[in-house]
Amino acid sequence: MRAPAPHPSGELQAILLVGGQGTRLRPLTINTPKPLLPTAGVPFLAHQLARARSYGVTRVVFATSYRAAMFEEVFSDGSAFGLTLVYVTEDSPLGTGGAIRNAAAGLTCGPDDPVLVLNGDVLSGHDLADQVRLHVERRAAVTLHLTEVDDPTAFGCVPTDDAGRVTAFLEKTPDPVTNRINAGCYVFTRSVIDTIPAGEVVSVERQTFPGLIDAGALVLGYADHSYWLDVGTPAAFVQGSRDLVLGRLASPALPGPPGDHLALPGSDVSPQAKVEGGTVVGARAAVAAGAHVSGSVLGDDSSVAAGAVVADSVVGTGARIAEGAIVRGAVIGDHAVVGPRNELAPGTRLWPGITLPDCAIRTSSEL
């Protein structure tokens, strides 16, 4: 790991965008903001905070909106991470650019310093220090992390010239000119943030970045091939947790060594159960003899009974999977119950507190 690039104030500060409602992850996000969902044994943001600290970040400003108070309840002043945490809340959603401008009130760095801007729903293994170094050495206005995807038609793409300068921000198109997309991690020069209109709804992708390019400012792309995942859907959320447990992406916040599964304190996994594939067994959760759990997230105080199968799924806090039930690619809400011998089709979402009676094949996506 490289040390951060030198810059005027000698410290590196960051803004963390965590204001979204996480609607694609419901029912998991009905009561909990997406960035606080338990991921590989800790709240999702713990991985980002620990990683940022390992790259020399000292101060992080949370740009909050949805259930804003919960973030400070979980992370307090940041001392557990060796960070200073500050919380700035939007009274109404301001878009990505507006949120960055609003959160800048919590920064203490100078106008020429780099400021990291991180999205609270992305897992990335790229070299943050190298991105900052490029930004400082080239004296860029903004430097964007770019990643390559197999199918860029689902994303806006970001072409660059031979020197790495971003030339355009292109909307989704069936014929993209590049497979490089905006990966959601930016380095701004502090003074550039102040050019974003205060108190207005602003999109960095549609307004700020194109405006800087049109004005002749240097907007750079930092492209690499490292691990990258947007955890905005249930399948991606499960994948992210699984990859962290298996060690496919290193995290200083992982509460234990990488391995086939992670069992949190107070959990009870029968020696006759099979738990594998990067599964997390939450605190005080139980997996009975003869159960098979693979690649899944079992919430605190949940249970999987004898003969049940759970694969590639999320089982919420206090939820119960009864004898012989089969749950694949599903989301089971907090304190919901899947009765004996139920079989849930992939994509099923069971809302919190719902009980499915004995022996039924479920095909509806939401129950």
Same domain flag for 44 and 121: yes
**Short-list 206, 203, 47, CA closest to 121:** 47
179 vs 336, which has greater pLDDT? 336
Same domain flag for 163 and 201: yes
pLDDT tens digits for range 21-42: 667 788 888 878 888 899 999 9
Same domain flag for 68 and 216: yes
pLDDT for residue 10: 61
283 vs 71, which has greater pLDDT? 283
Same domain flag for 223 and 266: no
| Beta-carbon count within 10 A of 198 CB | 12
171 vs 316, which has greater pLDDT? 316
Report how far apart, in Å, the C-alpha atoms of 120 and of each of 141, 328, 332 are. Answer: 22, 27, 23
Share of the chain above pLDDT 70, in %: 94
pLDDT for residue 361: 54
> Which pLDDT band, with edges at 50, 70 and 90, does 212 fall under?
very high
Same domain flag for 203 and 289: no
Report how far apart, in Å, the C-alpha atoms of 327 and of each of 83, 112, 276, 302, 337 are. Answer: 40, 53, 15, 14, 12
216 vs 149, which has greater pLDDT? 216
54 vs 232, which has greater pLDDT? 54
How many Å apart are CA 156 and CA 141, to the nearest integer? 21
Q: Which of 66-70, 102-106, 316-320, 349-353 has the lowest mean pLDDT?
A: 66-70
pLDDT for residue 166: 94
How many Å apart are CA 249 and CA 269, to the nearest integer? 25
**Short-list 257, 251, 256, 144, CA closest to 192:** 144
Tell me the CATH number at 343.
Answer: 2.160.10.10
Same domain flag for 283 and 218: no
> Which pLDDT band, with edges at 50, 70 and 90, does 136 fall under?
very high
Does residue 273 fall inside a structural domain?
yes
pLDDT for residue 230: 87
Q: Give the residue from 230, 251, 273 where a domain finishes.
A: 230
Tell me the CATH number at 74.
Answer: 3.90.550.10
pLDDT for residue 151: 81
How many Å apart are CA 15 and CA 85, to the nearest integer? 10
pLDDT for residue 360: 54
pLDDT for residue 297: 97
**Short-list 74, 67, 193, CA closest to 142:** 193
* Residue 4 DSSP symbol: P
Same domain flag for 187 and 72: yes
* Mean predicted lDDT score pLDDT of the chain: 89
pTM: 0.89
How many Å apart are CA 177 and CA 169, to the nearest integer? 11
**How many folded domains does the chain comprise?**
2
pLDDT tens digits for range 254-311: 998 999 999 999 999 999 999 999 999 999 999 999 999 999 999 999 999 999 999 9
How many Å apart are CA 109 and CA 188, to the nearest integer? 12
| Confidence check: pLDDT of 5 > 50 | no
| Confidence check: pLDDT of 2 > 70 | no
Same domain flag for 103 and 174: yes
Peptide bond into 159 cis (omega under 30): no
How many Å apart are CA 44 and CA 239, to the nearest integer? 13
Same domain flag for 191 and 270: no
What tokens does 355 get?
């009980």
Same domain flag for 67 and 196: yes
Are the C-beta atoms of residues 5 and 133 closer than 8 Å to each other?
Answer: yes
Does residue 3 fall inside a structural domain?
no
| Confidence check: pLDDT of 367 > 80 | no
Domain that holds residue 103: 12-230
pLDDT for residue 23: 76
Characterise 204 by phi-psi region: left (phi > 0), alpha (psi -120 to 50), beta (else). Answer: alpha
Does residue 47 fall inside a structural domain?
yes
Same domain flag for 53 and 199: yes
Report which secondary-structure segment, H or E, holds 44. Answer: helix 44-54
Does residue 4 fall inside a structural domain?
no
How many Å apart are CA 131 and CA 125, to the nearest integer? 12
Does residue 7 fall inside a structural domain?
no
